[in-house]
Structure 1
Amino acid sequence: MKRKYTAAAAVTVVATLSLAACSGGSSDQPSATADNKPVTLTMSTWNLANSPEFKTLADGFHAAHPNVTIELKDYDAAQYATLLTADLAAGTAPDILTMKNVTDMVTFASGGQLQDVSDVKLQSGIKGAASYKLDGKQYAIPYRIDGNVIYYNKDLFKAAGVPDPDGSWTWDDYTAAAEKLKTGLKTAGSAALPAYLHGWNALVQNFATAQVPASALKGDFGYMKPYYEQALKMQDGGLQLPFATVTANKTTYQAEFGKQQAAMEIMGTWYVATLLQQQAQGAADKFAWGMAPVPQRTSKTAGTSNTPITYGDPTGFAINVKTDQAKTAAAKQFLAYAESQEAALTLAKIGITPALTDDAVVKVYFGQSGIPSDDLTKFAWAKQKIDPQNPPSPKTATLNTVLSAMHSAIMTGSESIDKAISDAEAQYKNQVG
């Protein structure tokens, strides 16, 4: 899931770009334009005041290409897709379009509003690029991707007398650990619950899709049943807050883990920067914590000798189809820079999870003050296989609507798992044909 922001209405901001020499830039890359004439690009962003990644990338690229100026056009995050769609229709959209959601890429590419950027060479080891392919063409280049991990409170585990995760957990192991935590926390006099499951349907459904593996686009959702059985077992056993409570009270995952209301929480790696900031500012309690791989379907993908399977979507950059040829050349150079190791290192320094996570990036990322540096945390963050949360297809928007309703029906108990799945399958096939 992408982080949700609140911001003012769209406003253009010119980035305060560094005029640093190119010694730290991409000197091995060709110049953005053959004659080095000044070029001004515009780029869409959201919540610019609290999202330093955009200016960081603009500054880094400018250092390598001083003739290129990037102006950042900031949009209201809550209405980002709507406002950007309106600007595209009016012919006033920026040259570089940040893809906040994969579904936006599908909509814009299907409407002929994005350039084919298949000629931008992908870095070896880059994650999330496949999510931006449609009909065999690459329409955006990822610069960051956030997979899900287990966040766990080491202090609460210790108080409960339960061993920390070791990276080998299946979903049965996860549930068993939660049951031990329930007993141990009660004995220790703690009111914390063993775990917290946020209300997003992806936190059940997408693990099933990634780990089975399966394709929800086919309209057969029966493979999700074991994952719902596990989620309901946790809920009915008092191991996590009920879904109805979470949705009715608008419970936040930041408060549940940050204020030590839950000993474990499965959430995206974007939460790291938030947790560090909240602990530093006093909005979250200070306690020892770590990350572990998400539970696996079987032991075949569990353990640090394997690659744990999780899910998540990238964030990336695309190019407006109406951008002229000279600006397109510079924009493609920016896309290439944004996925480079150089850019990944600058993002890691500010707590962003880059789409490229090699050993050098891992070292920089875990050099941040306050972040755990144990081997399991590093492994969970860097070595996971991230399956797409939103498959790039025109059917994805309909699929998400159907699956969200199915999730609510199951988790509130208004329908049995079998009935809810059957109804969702019928609804989906009726809508997409």
Structure 2
Amino acid sequence: MKLKRMMAVSLVAAMGLTMLSACGNSSSGDSAASSSGESSTLNVKIWDSTQLEGIRQICDEWSAQSGVDVQVEVVNWDNYWTLLEAGASGGQMPDVFWMHSNNSQRYMDAKLLLDLNDYIDADESIDMNNYYADIVDLYTQDDGTHYAIPKDYDTVALWYNKDMFDAAGVEYPTNDWTWEDLYEAGKALTKDGKYGMAMDTDLNQEGYYNIVYSYGGYIINDDKTESGWDDPKTVEAMEMWGKIVKDCMPPQSMMSESGEIDMFTSQVTAMQLMGSWRVAALQEYDCNWGVVNIPYHDANGNGQCDAGERVSIYNGLGWAAAASTANPDAAYSLISYLCSEAGQVKQAELGVTMSAYMGTSDTWVDARADKWDLSPYLNVTEGTDKMVIYPYSRASIWAENAKQELVPAYNDPSIMADTLKTMAVNMENELQAEQK
């Protein structure tokens, strides 16, 4: 029902935008400021407050050059999409905003986003080949229309608390750890009110997706038509993940109440799988932490990481503009500035997050070198390691449902295989509904 309602909203919005494009969105020209004078300010929305300072600084630099003011506002994740949906239904969408793979297809289908093709073709500072192709594809329609330019990319690494390892007499993690190593250390650390690690059931990118692909399983096929939940290798991986949850983590009730990051920063848990986007929020803590590569699955049993055995799920946001913006030229000019090589280097230097422009994220590692060695986030892009784009489909309702469907199996790992079979059926029903 939710999917059909959202599709209906998008269709209504698309009809409204057709009229807007014909009547009120005709400004064009060489300057960033609207030639009609309709707007000298761009409204920008993001959802991560830890990135606000850096994003605002880059926008201010653009404003100084363009003469167009930028107002950057943070709206938390849930309210962010509510706000965009309300704008799509007849309200006012932001001029420029972040787009995510979970929602991009619906917004592109409904033509709610500004078509960037002509702008990109005329822009010497933007070449889409400079960004990871998977992330470019997230925001590109099958006909080749680009509706966003990649802002960043993210990978996953393992953080650990050195003091807690020392107190438990357990050796520190290394860059060559397997998932089995993580499990054994996690068990040893789980005692006296302390735990090996924690995981919120919402954390698929930072959690179980990685181990599934590491074991050779999958979540969704390339055509977005079939579920991989019941694939034998997926089942094997999730049974291992179920053991980690059961033997190395706090009770589910405790994790849902306290939050996995809070437990890690307060030294209740000794390890945490964390996406690179979280690093900016950790800067305020003065803890004795280390960072290593995400573990791998030694499928060949040879004690070394072979091709495809270490996997990090990765994703990336895109900078998009509303098709209804009164100032499309300025909106694109700002996006171009943010996504150009110079803008991406600046984003990395400020420690905002890793940059989507390939080859510029070394400066992000350097920005935090006084506290941590963040090179494990970049290591997974090299050698035999593998990055897998975050599994998604047109609406990805199945991904949200899976988070709760897995909870009984976390409490009783013996039912994991049966749970995954049921999830596969449910997911394929949802995928079929997306096509209607």
What TM-score, normalized to structure 2?
Answer: 0.75
Residue number in structure 1 paired with 2:390: 389
359 and 132 in structure 1: CA distance in 2 versus 1, 3 angstrom threshold = closer
Residue 316 (str. 1) matches residue 315 (str. 2): no
Superposition pairs of residues 21-420 of structure 1, within 5 angstroms: 34-35=30-31, 40-46=41-47, 51-63=52-64, 65-72=65-72, 75=75, 77-99=77-99, 101-118=100-117, 120=120, 121-122=127-128, 124-126=130-132, 128-135=135-142, 136-182=144-190, 191-200=193-202, 202=204, 203-208=206-211, 210-211=213-214, 212=216, 214-216=218-220, 217=224, 218-223=226-231, 224-237=234-247, 239-247=248-256, 250-277=257-284, 279=285, 286-298=286-298, 308-323=310-325, 327-356=327-356, 361-363=361-363, 365-368=365-368, 371-373=371-373, 377-381=374-378, 383-384=380-381, 386-391=387-392, 393-397=393-397, 399-413=398-412, 416-420=415-419
Q: Deviations over 1:293-321 (max 9, x none)?
A: 21123478976999942124322211212
Deviations 1:393-421 (A, max 9, x none): 32412x22332232123113398112211
Q: Is the 8 A contact 1:144 1:355 kept in 2?
A: yes
Conservation of the 8 A alpha-carbon contact between 1:296 and 1:302: no
Change beyond 3 A, Cα 1:386–1:40 = farther
What is the alpha-carbon distance in structure 2 between the residues aligned to residue 304 and residue 352 of structure 1?
32
Distance, in Å, in 2 between the alignment partners of 1:36 and 1:133 is 24
2:173 aligned counterpart, secondary structure: coil
Q: Matched residue of 2:313: which SS?
A: strand
- Larger strand share, 1 or 2: 1
1:91-143 CA distance string (max 9 Å, x none)? 521222322x3223222112121123345322625473333234243322221
1:13 aligns to what? none
Structure 1 residue ranges without an equivalent (≥5): 1-31, 280-285
One-letter amino acid of the structure 2 residue matched with residue 234 of structure 1 = I
Name the CA shift for 1:414/1:386 in 2 (closer, same or farther; >3 Å). Answer: closer
Tell me the CA shift for residue 36 of structure 1. Answer: 6.3
Once the two structures are superposed, what CA deviation does each residue of 1:197-232 show, in whole Å capped at 9, x if it has no partner? Answer: 232251444224543253424123123212221122
Structure 2 CA distance for aligned equivalents of residues 132 and 48 of structure 1: 23
The equivalent residue for 1:22 is: none
Give the direction of change, closer, same or farther, for the CA distance of 1:160–1:75 in structure 2 (3 Å limit): closer
- Rounded to whole Å, the distance in 1 between the matches of 2:380 and 2:229 is 28
Instruction: Mark the CA change 1:106 to 1:360 in structure 2 (over 3 Å): closer, same or farther.
Output: closer
Asked whether the 8 Å contact 1:196–1:262 carries over to 2, the reply is yes
Helix, strand or coil: the match of 2:345?
Answer: helix
- Distance in 1 between the 2:50 and 2:240 partners? 40
How many residue pairs match? The answer is 377
Quick one: distance in 1 between partners of 2:306 and 2:276?
Answer: 18
Which stretches of structure 1, 4 residues or more, deviate above 6 A after TM superposition? Answer: 299-302, 304-307
Change (3 A) 1:57 1:105: farther
Q: Secondary structure at the match of 1:94?
A: coil
**Structure 2: which amino acid aligns with 1:86?**
A
Q: Residue 229 of structure 2 contacts residue 420 of structure 2 at CA under 8 Å; is this kept in 1?
A: yes
State the identity as a percent.
Answer: 19
Match of residue 11 from structure 1: none
Q: Does the C-alpha gap of structure 1 residues 291 and 137 become closer, same or farther in structure 2, counting only changes over 3 Å?
A: farther
Cα gap change, 1:232/1:77 in structure 2, threshold over 3 Å: closer, same or farther? Answer: closer
Gaps of at least 5 residues in structure 2 are 1-27, 35-39, 121-126
- Give the corresponding residue for 1:422: 421
CA contact (8 A) 1:170 1:302 kept: no
In the alignment, the residues of structure 1 paired with residue 419 and residue 94 of structure 2 have an alpha-carbon distance, to the nearest angstrom, of 43
The secondary structure found in structure 2 opposite 1:51 is helix
The RMSD of aligned alpha carbons is 3.3
Q: Label 1:242 to 1:307 Cα distance change in 2 as closer, same or farther (>3 A).
A: same
Give the 3-state SS of the residue equivalent to 2:152 in structure 1: strand
Q: Does the CA-based 8 Å contact 2:152-2:357 persist in structure 1?
A: no
